[in-house]
Chain A
């Protein structure tokens, strides 16, 4: 469904993030929704809205439930790329094959950076598990942290 919506231009690109994105690189962790970052086409008003995604999914019989849309019994939370880091994470996401279906997942280094930026307790735990289990590219991570002014936060969380 995500690929179809992208092909139809409902959003220009997507990448899976959040706990399921992290689980691609780490041991499985309990989560109840699928977080999907999306690059939305710019509207003339300049406002970013998820309405077009909700409408496209509603037309296919997928209804909203709280802050998610239930797609094939999976609550999917769409998050517009709200800053330069998320835009970069979506642009540089990895292409994977999930049981014959192409999908896109944010790079582990970007997930680390997003956690640092978001800064909740669960983000701290996620950074710890990604550091421990994901094969992080240290040069790539350093460049991301520098580009998005997250080096100090990284030091604070890891030293």
Chain B
């Protein structure tokens, strides 16, 4: 039995050594990524005055470079398509932990699914996997995946997933081309898409809310307060009537310590399907208009002088 135990220990030692080789896979995985924003974030390289956070509405509808050019404040877009509020909380927390806290955070709110179970908006673990070489990332993944913290702390393999082994260089598609400021405006539209403006009033019900999402939303408010980050909750245009009951709910949750910007519903372009890529995302032309209006709001509220 002693001999067997020794053999087992030898195998374990070999395995642990072998496991360390996979740091190369982890490194290559990060290199192969084309969207480097998360890597800049954990490396502390995003020290900007204004940060935009949110899901694809934030990526597509607001152009950070335009804000920077008009206001003179350095601006960066950290919105990730398909991400939910829990992911936004992670982004904001990582931002203030590893970088200088921004002066202003524009948090794009998804009308009216921000706090609901909406399958297209998730915690984008797939964006984190390529960066498992960074402790903050694998710790977050361990938390998300319910991995045993002890094993993931010393086993590189435990932090990897099958997607890390796709070591090919990633490339942009027409729908997810990132420009230097982090925004992802789109000029391409599927030919067969037909949009119809939704006029009916949507009644928001808190019964459909997910407690974890509400907690994450509150977490963002708390972080901004702690780090003295001025927070503006932005309701971007969608191709249907704005949900007042949802807006009320958000106002009730966030209180009066934050600012709110609701897109200009008087502007007819927001009811023109040519300005939309789909029901919830603007085309580049629409994004330019919406960004301009956002800048005017920021200036009028003396948020930016």
A and B physically associate: no
